[in-house]
Amino acid sequence: MTSRRRVVITGLGIVSPLGNCLEDTWAGICSGTSGIAEITRFDTDSFKTKIAGEVKGLDPLAFVNAKERRRMDDFIIYALAASEMALRDADLTIGTRNAERVGVILGSAIGGLTTIEKEKETLLSAGPGRLSPFTVPAVLANLAPGQVSIRFGAKGPIGCAVTACASGNSAIAEAFRTIACGYADAMITGGTEAAVAPLAVAGFGAMRTLSTRNDEPRRASRPFDRDRDGFVIGEGCGIIILEEMSWALNRGARIYAEIAGTGSTSDAFHMAAPPPGHEGAARCMRLALQDTGMEPSEIDYINAHGTSTALNDVYETEAIRTVFGEHSRRVAISSTKSMTGHMLGAAGGAEAIFSVKAIQEGVVPPTINLDNPDPQCDLDYTPHQARHREIRAAMSNTFGFGGVNSVLIFKKFEG
């Protein structure tokens, strides 16, 4: 662990249900604003769930031209937009001198679902000859990092993590290891998703995992609350720029925080449900702590997976108690999904940004809608309002279908 290279965060970019830039999204998080509203993308009359965390007001033509717009699914456009913002925030220019040392690893749980639905309708109504030749490139999950690499000229390692709701964290963890082991000096990484589509809403609805609190959309996502009735699907993209520490310092980069370590485990239990006590998540948090060489007492904030589903919230609480012991009563915890909804493969990227901003500004984001805490969820979830406190280290949890667990730990940068 002592010989690996240190990795820092120098740029942040985000498209979310709370805003189409870092400033607007973070302001919404700190003020406890909900980005959940009625679905506008399609007619929901026959759907039990009629609400989602949609990206609102993003002008795709600010990031791609009209021809590209027709050829790309929204999850790719979100990735291009957030990557442009993050690179600009990092003041990082990719050129002939550094292109081969800059890579891209992004996560997406589903990929181009909207394009799949649209082109399937074309196939059935007009026949195979009418399908766009760009159908497949718009659908494949790895075309998000592919298009980002093409757009910005990043010729280093490239990859795509597809680990359900842990995809964003999985991508960041792999990007971190890529730099730490010397295969690249900078990485564009995070997660992207655009799955507010009929098939996703109907499919998750059939699993009975979605909230149906349609008359109160802003109160529908309520992690750790006794009256929660499921998660709210969200969308967007969160991108962070990772750089090897000396590489960043030599070019005079502003450093937000350091990524200290990661953990990854499998439950090997069930395709969708966590095991009792969330043993896999507890093991993953322990591995992340071991990877950093830190003690549980050194973590000041946990951005919980906190989906607002019955099992996840209880079992994640039990896992935190298992790992943190007495410190579990002192560590500040929150679920920002109470405001963004569950951004699926984009969640890890967005929540990494929130964790980094929490460290930078000394702000613990709130868990809104926590009106009646579940007695089984008895830790400090920062209800309703953000809280100011020094945060030296933050943990970000993501868990996904298939039993995948991914944990990131960020800490305040000390040169």
Q: What CATH number is given to the structural domain containing 244?
A: 3.40.47.10
Strands 158-161 and 102-107: parallel
Q: Tell whether the model's pLDDT for residue 406 goes beyond 80.
A: yes
Domain containing 35 equals 8-250
Q: Is residue 53 part of a domain?
A: yes
Same structural domain for residues 297 and 182?
no
CB–CB of 93/186 below 8 Å?
Answer: no
Number of domains in the chain: 2
What percent of the chain clears pLDDT 70, i.e. is strictly above it? Answer: 100
Same structural domain for residues 294 and 199?
no
- CA distance to 14, 31, 153, per residue, from 24 (Å): 10, 11, 28
What is residue 147's predicted lDDT score, i.e. its pLDDT?
A: 98
Hey, CA dihedral for 415, 330, 397, 215, is it positive or negative? negative
Q: Is residue 257 part of a domain?
A: no
Q: Is residue 1 part of a domain?
A: no
CB–CB of 32/221 below 8 Å?
Answer: no
CB–CB of 370/381 below 8 Å?
Answer: yes
Same structural domain for residues 246 and 266?
no
Q: Is residue 342 part of a domain?
A: yes
CB–CB of 338/222 below 8 Å?
Answer: yes
For the question of whether the overall pTM of this predicted structure is more than 0.95, the answer is: yes
What are the pLDDT digits (tens) for 340-351? 999 999 999 999
Q: Is residue 365 part of a domain?
A: yes
Q: How many CB atoms lie within 10 A of CB 130?
A: 10
User: DSSP assignment, residue 110?
Assistant: S
Write out the catalytic residue numbers: 165, 305, 342
Give bridge partners of residue 303 from the DSSP assignment: 334, 396
Same structural domain for residues 193 and 326?
no
Question: CA torsion 256→244→398→335, rounded to 10°?
Answer: 0
Q: Tell whether the model's pLDDT for residue 191 goes beyond 90.
A: yes
Strands 102-107 and 186-193: parallel
Q: Tell whether the model's pLDDT for residue 2 goes beyond 60.
A: no
3-state SS assignment for residue 238: strand
Same structural domain for residues 103 and 178?
yes
Range name among 24-33, 159-168, 274-283 with the lowest pLDDT average? 274-283
279 conformational bin, left if phi > 0, alpha if psi -120 to 50, beta if neither:
alpha
3-state SS assignment for residue 230: coil
Q: Tell whether the model's pLDDT for residue 1 goes beyond 90.
A: no
What are the pLDDT digits (tens) for 40-71? 999 999 999 999 999 999 999 999 999 999 99
